[in-house]
Structure 1
Amino acid sequence: MKIINQILLFIVCIANQLVAQNTQNIHGKIMSVSNIPIEGVTVVIEKTDYYDITNANGDFTISNVNAGDYKLVVSHIGFNSKTIDMSVTKGNSITLKPIYLKEAYSELQEVVISGSILSKTPNAAKSGIKALDLPQSVAIISQQTLETQQINSLTDILKNVNGLYIKGTTGGYQEELASRGYSLGSNNTFKNGVRYFNGMTVETSGLESVEILKGSAAILFGNVEAGGILNLITKKPRFDFGGKLDVTFGSFNLVKPTFDVYGSLNDSKTAAFRLDGSYASADSFRKYVSSETYYFNPSLFFKLSNKTTLLLESDYTNDYRTPDFGAGIINYQIVDLPRDQFVGVKWGYFDAEQVSVTATLNHQLSYNWNVTYINSFRHYNTDMFTNGRPNSGGAAVQEDGTWQRNLQRRDYVDNYNLNQLDFKGLFKTGKVKHQFLVGADLENYKTKDTRYNSLTTANNNGQAYYDEINIFNPDYNNFRNDIPNVDKNRLTSTPVSRFGIYVQDLIAINRYLKVLAGVRYSYQDTKSDIYTYSNQSTSITNLYDDALTPRFGVIIQPTNHISIFGSYANSFETNTGLDIDGNTLKPSLIDQFEVGIKNELFNNKLFLNVTGYIINNSNLAQPYLGNGNTDSNIKELAGSTKSQGIEVDFTAYPLFGMRLMAGYSFNEMKYTKSNTYVVGSLLRYNPKHTANLSANYTFESGTLKGLNIGFVSTYFGERFAGRSFRITTPNDDRQLIPLSDYFQLDGTLAYHFNNKFAIKGKLANITNALNYNVHDDNSLNPIASRNYSVTLSYKF
């Protein structure tokens, strides 16, 4: 410990030589006229490269300013800018009086913003650290992008982010995410910082922005996959009165009205509200497939005192649609079927509902310190009854196209509660600045998974299937359409308790060198209670896991617009099964190394970021093969995988009113050690190459003023589905299914007039590209064919 302290002291001494001795710091706070702190305000010393961005408490600090007379320029979207004259004298740091900005209501129309991307503060970072200071890759999709690209799904959102992709759409009722080779399930998907169950489609009309933190986030959120997290930010209350009404019509009989209204609840502007929602009804490019979705997102904001605020949010989605597992794979080969051909039962349904209620209490303890408490409850349930998946449960599609369809039914309930307390602030030790976070979270899950019997000879009059069809020539008129009764098979109840405590510090040793360090302790208790209805038996197991997950990063900033970083982070993955001694299997620990550079160039007109990473899972759980064991529940930490890649992000504003975004990613994930799979073989679903390019231009003057045109293009590289060959299985016939690469192009057009009315149009998949999302070999879903939508909009 003494040696470490000496090293740190030496680093501080050397680093301080880089800074002039006659420099001072400028502290301040930016507030709205309603006395609410404003986050994300840009504070610049005119004609210099000195600047800062306010944190969630409205605070900013500009360090190491030489003595002299300056103009301080304060600006933020939706507010009138302000310029302040000030003098800095030798040896005297300055703490300014609060600076108040007035909301510019007339300026809140759709404009092209060229503000600093890297100076934004991701909410998911918890501690108010701006993107430039985070030693990891960060992407923030703004509301402007959501609107100009007329985004309607997660798939649309991810067209703006390289390296984060849809790996499958099992049944057509969900969008399964992955990043850097790792699946991003419900543990890695958040809405307003609270875990969101992503087993259903996400309604995007209520989103204000989307944050993606790539790489490890385990120190902040505990048991998350190594690839990154997705945080969906919903629309928040506003004190000015206004709103918008939209109605969208489109291909496949799409009808979708949306509404959004907000305003103050009292004259003193201490309480505000927002209510937005939508309804959507649509068919599909697939025959007999349809959907209906209801969405509501109410929220309230209360200024309880000058130092205390309370935000109440609720989010409700009900999605009812036809499950569609496709049936176009025979012997691990994709067969040529018409794109619109549906071979599921026409009466099948997937009925999903998710509702959450969240309270966020924020209290300003002092000028530099605040505490945030979050309490959230989420309920999710699904009822699915449809045909079984092709090529599963013995229902393989034969060479001639014959398929004996069986049935599947499942009820699933997930109740989730989060209590989270974060204490964060700024302080100094000598000349070293600290942005400090300490927090704790307690999560409780209660899930109930009810499975039903499929049809067998014993319960279906001697016939072990529902009916028989031919996928090459489905006779829709003679499809069996009755809905038989099926009995419950088993109920699995899984209560999970998870506790974590974490501490993190961003240490600014001087203007050029910062260190981010922290650690988290997580404890998880998982109980599984399986009740079998046929013999009324119960099986109970308990798993107890705990892990320490450290994080360390170094950030070098030669200027205020360039950040070079390197980081190490560790995360863990819980495992099911037992070891050879009958004990519960320990978690797999995953090491992640990341380096990169973030650049803001040409006065925030161009942003170029490059990131490289290596992720090693050196103790992957695999079946134990010793002593002739055949029990797949007995495992050992005997496998290893390695994911490595590079990501490039580019954003530019070459002309006033124009924005260009582009990106490229390369990822390769392989087995580096395995007693089950071929060493060196690739893991499934992960494209080696992805790329994106989009452009958008708004005419700001002349006869075409108010016209906006744009396009979004994406490239999705080759990858594999199917089933990986097992070297331990004699005569194993499992095969991978190669999926070809494809390019997709969307175009958008919008015209705004009188600052109130707008008409928008979108043509998606202009080239009518055909490709597939495939899970194993039992859910093959073609991407949507060429389609259009038209939206009429009114703002008030």
Structure 2
Amino acid sequence: MLNLWQTSLFLTGIFFLVEIQATWAETADSNRSAQILVQSPTSTSEIIPVTGVKANPTEKGVEIIFQTSKGEQLQITNSSTGNNFIADIPNAQLRLPNGDGFTFRSEKPVVGITEITVTNFDAQTIRITVVGENSLPAVELFDDNEGLIFGVTSSAIAAQPQPEKPASETPQEQPAAQQDDQIELVVTGEEDGYRVQETTTGTKTDTPLRDIPQSIQVVPQQVLRDQQVTRLDDALRNVPGVNQNFNFGPFTFYSIRGFDATETNLLRDGLIDTLAGQVSELSSIERVEVLKGPASVLFGLGNPGGSINLISKRPLSEPFYTIDATIGSYSFYRGAVDLSGALNDSKTVLYRLNLAYRNSGSSVDFFDGESLNISPVISVAIGEKTNLSLEAEYIKTSDRYASGVPVIGSLLPNPNGKVSRNLNLIEPSDKIEQTITRLGYRIDHKFNENWSLNNAFSFAFRDLDQRRTDSRGLEPDNRTWLRSFSESSSENRNYAMSTNLIGKFATGSIQHQLLFGFDLNRFDNFNPVIPSFEAASIDIFNPVYGNPRGANIISSEGFRQQTNSLGIYLQDQVALTDNLKVLLGGRFDVIDRKYEDLVSNTESSGTDSAFSPRFGIVYQPIPAISLYTSYTSSFTPPGGSYFFGVDSSFKPERGNQYEAGVKADLNDRLSATLALFDLTRTNVTTEDPNRPNFSIQVGEQNSRGVELNLAGEILPGWNIFAGYAYIDARITKDNTLTPGNRLSNSANNSFNLWTSYEIQKGNLQGLGAGIGLFFVGDRANFGNTYTVPSYLRTDAAIFYNRDRFRVALNFKNLFDIDYFESSLGNRVYYGQPFTVQGTVSWHF
């Protein structure tokens, strides 16, 4: 596998060096190339790029200029409804400096025009909507050297009387609109609002969500900003069907559709990053995308519930500078800086730098910490066809664990009384200190308008030092808590590389978007031998800290682990007609695993392989509605101890999901998804009843349910982000657990609603407020011996935006309810009490 890594990296590097040299040569003769490009005929399947949008006031109204070298080849279809003029440009796509999907909206650019909207309606169509204030505006079409021009005449301006000139007066030429009056589209990375229409998470290609036959939910930047989200767990409250398993410090673990999300279910910009969920600061994250259901055809090994993809902020071509300062309850202090712009006049070298520092306390005793995040990105345009991004991230944290509180005395009755919700069963001297370093690059190369290649690589390294006091359980007196103590230093390394060839072509009248690629991943974990000592017990009702630990060693653990994986995949997005689309995909993975037990000095290794298919159909009876059905699969390497005399090679665990649903775009403002699914996990390792401490593969688990999501703008300034999930996740076969038991920490019902309104005009323009409701139903523990009750948490916000200034107050758990976030063994974790945070932001 190591030779394969070296060979793949070498060949990829040689290829891109050759392409970059060719691109530099093309750049030297760019003027001649541009002329040839304009004169060349365009095939019917070619997508014409629009690289800029301008709105210029004119004497009669406003001009909308679409900057493209092929304006004469664009064909327009238009319609009108009431005061709305709607124009669609097929075989065209907006490709502006910041990359993928956005919606541009200019409100009241001139008298008589309420709004102008430009958006990528789908992967092959640009839609322009012009809304007249009192009547339908008149629109004329012109072709110009600068591109395609829509001349919009406002009825209000046209109706205004013009001053009469004396007969002898020579007509004077009207001055053109001054440059200062020009309204130019500036992409800031925050144009999506609450509604995101396009993603790469579902297909590894830029595809509208409405064309993907699987449920995907995107938590965009504006939702994160309005809720003042700085942690991943708070972002995921907005995704129904995602539950928190437990959170005891900087480490948070989740379940999706009832199944645990393992380290390989966490992605950073589409690459597996086993450390992505370890530090939840989101200062460098643009949005959070959650793909529901199995995704092995795209990303390889992983549990079947779904994948969480953190999308990084990208460099911008225009100056963008933001400073945030936050202060809140329990000594919460946070500062963040987000800087971006061009490093040269030609804007071929762009940068983005995110800095964030946090120092915070908590309602839980000794549960405080601090973190520092530094995330620079450099983007270099090497000619017109190639772009190189260099990325780095440095994270330094110092935190403590939250132990949770005993079930008996909190959730269940204790004859001695009720324990404090602030109780922490660790020692004040405990610590978790970690340093994470990420380095990576991404190269995108376009051969032509139809074929492109991208290659991305990421390396993440973590040093983790811990001094921790762990829980062992409650004594029969129901007040004495047994503990253990250990100190450790460990190392984790994560390597990931992905290469994708993407092509668009036609076979007759059938359109194809083909994806062929391969992924390489390597995970190295090293934990030296760690003895666990007997620690002083503690009274949960009258805790006394600082007693010396015992000398008895309870257990020892130490290991070295390495996993190498190679995946090769092929996918075809087929448009049989304009409204009938098929998605076909398949992937073959090979995984080598090696495990060395440093205590017993024994080694074990194994090789697994799996084929993961995918199939989906999307039917769009009208452009705004998508009906879909799909089958997807996943695999995970087997766990447990092998009994070589009976079964020396376990099969990978498999996930198989059938899903059907409806996606709708409502009035170009709201998007909704309704999904029904049935997901089964097989080959689950369970205890061998005939041989203690060994496992056999007979387990099976099933999750089925329905999910509904709604996101977008109801009216100008009034946004909504909501969802509901009903999930019935249960054990269907097992040797030790009872079939019919619920999967742990999975709620049957969950609901989220966040809505905000900002005043759009008048003296109070920019003043707004938001309200959020987050409901999580009851959840069972692992053995179904107790149930964690449901809760409804209310959040709220008040904010004011004015010019380059923003101030906001965010309230979490507004009514200060006592609720349990999750459970782990014989402990439960309280959710945070009422907190308030104030944030001041400057944008310049």
What is the TM-score when the length of structure 2 is the normalising length? 0.79
CA drift at 1:325: 0.8
Cα-to-partner distance string for 1:249-286 (whole Å, 9 max, x where unaligned): 11111111111111111111110111111110011111
2:677 to 606, 613, 617: 613
Q: Counterpart amino acid of 1:531?
A: L
Match of residue 17 from structure 1: none
CA drift at 1:702: 1.0
Match of residue 530 from structure 2: 452
The alignment status of 1:375 with 2:457, answered yes or no, reads yes
The alignment status of 1:578 with 2:598, answered yes or no, reads no
Distance 1:161 1:43 in 2: 40
Q: Counterpart amino acid of 2:541?
A: F
Distance 1:334 1:193 in 2: 46
Q: Counterpart amino acid of 1:521?
A: F
The alignment status of 1:771 with 2:830, answered yes or no, reads no
Relative to structure 1, the CA distance from residue 183 to residue 143 in structure 2 (aligned partners, 3 Å threshold; closer, same or farther) is: same
Match of residue 561 from structure 1: 624
The alignment status of 1:750 with 2:760, answered yes or no, reads no
Q: Counterpart amino acid of 2:603?
A: I
Is the CA contact 2:381–2:387 (under 8 Å) kept in the aligned structure 1?
Answer: yes
Distance 1:112 1:29 in 2: 19
Q: Counterpart amino acid of 1:501?
A: I
Distance 1:409 1:273 in 2: 41
Is the CA contact 1:330–1:398 (under 8 Å) kept in the aligned structure 2?
Answer: no
Match of residue 219 from structure 2: 141
Match of residue 595 from structure 1: 660
The alignment status of 1:629 with 2:728, answered yes or no, reads no
Match of residue 438 from structure 2: 356
Relative to structure 1, the CA distance from residue 474 to residue 59 in structure 2 (aligned partners, 3 Å threshold; closer, same or farther) is: closer
Match of residue 419 from structure 1: 497
**Identity percentage over the alignment?**
24
Relative to structure 1, the CA distance from residue 567 to residue 193 in structure 2 (aligned partners, 3 Å threshold; closer, same or farther) is: same
Is the CA contact 1:390–1:778 (under 8 Å) kept in the aligned structure 2?
Answer: no
Distance 1:111 1:707 in 2: 19
Cα-to-partner distance string for 1:178-214 (whole Å, 9 max, x where unaligned): 1111111220111222223145231012221111111
Distance 2:193 2:381 in 1: 31
Q: Counterpart amino acid of 2:614?
A: R
Distance 1:432 1:334 in 2: 66
CA drift at 1:749: 1.1
Aligned pair count? 714
Counting only pairs closer than 5 Å after superposition, residues 57-68 of structure 1 correspond to structure 2 as none
CA drift at 1:112: 8.6
Match of residue 684 from structure 1: 744
Relative to structure 1, the CA distance from residue 705 to residue 33 in structure 2 (aligned partners, 3 Å threshold; closer, same or farther) is: closer
Match of residue 598 from structure 2: 531
Q: Return 770-779 or 542-551, whichever deviates more.
A: 770-779
1:410 to 488, 510, 528: 488
CA drift at 1:605: 3.0
The structure whose RCO (Cα within 8 Å, separation 6+) is larger is 1
Match of residue 540 from structure 2: 471
Cα-to-partner distance string for 1:699-735 (whole Å, 9 max, x where unaligned): 11112111121012100000012x42xxxxxxxxxx6
Unmatched runs of 5 consecutive residues or more in structure 2:
1-42, 55-65, 69-73, 80-85, 102-115, 131-138, 151-178
Relative to structure 1, the CA distance from residue 690 to residue 774 in structure 2 (aligned partners, 3 Å threshold; closer, same or farther) is: closer
CA RMSD of aligned residues (A): 3.5
Q: Return 405-414 or 326-335, whichever deviates more.
A: 326-335
Match of residue 50 from structure 2: 30
Is the CA contact 2:202–2:214 (under 8 Å) kept in the aligned structure 1?
Answer: no
Relative to structure 1, the CA distance from residue 99 to residue 270 in structure 2 (aligned partners, 3 Å threshold; closer, same or farther) is: farther
Relative to structure 1, the CA distance from residue 341 to residue 623 in structure 2 (aligned partners, 3 Å threshold; closer, same or farther) is: closer
1:510 to 577, 588, 593: 577
Distance 2:519 2:189 in 1: 39
CA drift at 1:375: 1.4
1:698 to 735, 758, 762: 758
What is the TM-score when the length of structure 1 is the normalising length? 0.83
Relative to structure 1, the CA distance from residue 544 to residue 791 in structure 2 (aligned partners, 3 Å threshold; closer, same or farther) is: same
The alignment status of 1:783 with 2:783, answered yes or no, reads no
CA drift at 1:552: 0.4
CA drift at 1:243: 0.4
Distance 1:358 1:223 in 2: 21
Is the CA contact 2:201–2:291 (under 8 Å) kept in the aligned structure 1?
Answer: no
Is the CA contact 1:245–1:260 (under 8 Å) kept in the aligned structure 2?
Answer: yes
Q: Counterpart amino acid of 2:663?
A: K
CA drift at 1:59: 11
Q: Return 238-247 or 290-299, whichever deviates more.
A: 238-247
Is the CA contact 1:669–1:683 (under 8 Å) kept in the aligned structure 2?
Answer: yes
CA drift at 1:613: 0.3
Unmatched runs of 5 consecutive residues or more in structure 1:
1-22, 61-71, 89-95, 456-464, 725-734
CA drift at 1:571: 1.2
The alignment status of 1:277 with 2:355, answered yes or no, reads yes
Bigger Rg, which one: 2
The alignment status of 1:739 with 2:785, answered yes or no, reads no
CA drift at 1:449: 1.9
Q: Return 341-350 or 502-511, whichever deviates more.
A: 341-350
Is the CA contact 2:187–2:318 (under 8 Å) kept in the aligned structure 1?
Answer: no
CA drift at 1:32: 4.2
2:256 to 179, 202, 227: 179
Q: Secondary structure at the match of 1:653?
A: strand
The alignment status of 1:719 with 2:784, answered yes or no, reads no
